[in-house]
Amino acid sequence: MKVAILGTGMVGQALAAKLSEVGQDVMIGTRNAEETMSRTAPGMFGNPPFRVWKEQHPPVSLGTYSQAAVHGEVVLNATSGSASLDALRLAGEANLNGKILIDISNPLDFSKGMPPSLTVCNTDSLAEQIQRALPQVRVVKTLNTVNAMVMVNPQLVAGGDHHLFISGNDAGAKAKVVELLKSWFGWQHIIDLGDIKTARGSEMVLPMWISLMGTLKTPMFNFKVTQ
């Protein structure tokens, strides 16, 4: 399958590496490919510049947001929440229409330092804003409540015995995403929360997630729902 990943950060790199490993045809999208490849400074968390990662993953191609959107049969939004709407605008509505867009972004605001606040919550969500901006795109919210390494390898935590959440208006798109999450990454337990409005809840999990990361001194954890 041809897969587009918007965003060259830690999440985009983790997703691209895993999807390429399992045989998908992956293109990462960025605002300016030449500028991205010319960076020499470490990333936000001290990881090597993108060009170093790219040299280690030659099957993964790099293009602009619009080139990636054209390439992908399925598109994953792994941009930062503050940049997502602009990145999707650059990707091009016509290039995305009719496609499944897996939205992994979170509306985190780091402008006042740590811990971050949310740019939108309670009565709206970033996922809803994306769906309103792209009404013909099949937006599915998922993977945003776990660390990048757990996204692509849920067995790292409790042998995979924990839960992922999914939201979206299109039942067929959600069913396809569930299938992909299981076949690509090995997710076993996925809870369908309902329509895209339920993404408000999964996005508002992030302040709790960040608090837990600070308390546990690790991002390698997840939530398990029991009855």
Virtual CA dihedral for 100, 35, 24, 179, nearest 10 degrees? Answer: -30
How far from 55 is each of 10, 17, 50, 68, 112, CA to CA, in Å?
15, 12, 9, 19, 35
Length of the chain: 227
Domain ranges of the chain: 2-216
- Give SS3 for 27: strand
74: nearest Cα among 134, 146, 1, 123: 1
The pTM for the full model equals 0.96
Whether 5 shows a pLDDT value over 80: the answer reads yes
CA distance 154 to 49: 26
Band (19; pLDDT cuts 50, 70, 90): very high
Whether 113 shows a pLDDT value over 90: the answer reads no
pLDDT score of 189: 98
| Average pLDDT for 67-79 | 98
| Average pLDDT for 169-181 | 98
2-216 homologous superfamily: NAD(P)-binding Rossmann-like Domain (3.40.50.720)
Q: pLDDT tens digits for 87-109?
A: 999 999 999 999 999 999 999 99
Whether 47 shows a pLDDT value over 90: the answer reads no
**Does residue 67 contact residue 34 with C-beta atoms inside 8 Å?**
no
Report DSSP letters for 88-132, one per residue.
Answer: HHHH-HHHHTTSEEEE----EE-TT-SSPEESS-SS--HHHHHHH
Q: For residue 187, give every residue at least 6 positions away whose Cβ sits within 8 Å of its Cβ, in sequence order, or none.
A: 154, 160, 164, 181
DSSP-derived pairing of the beta strands 190-194 and 164-168: parallel
98 sits in the region (left: phi over 0; alpha: psi -120 to 50; else beta) called left
Whether 67 shows a pLDDT value over 80: the answer reads yes
Whether 82 shows a pLDDT value over 80: the answer reads yes
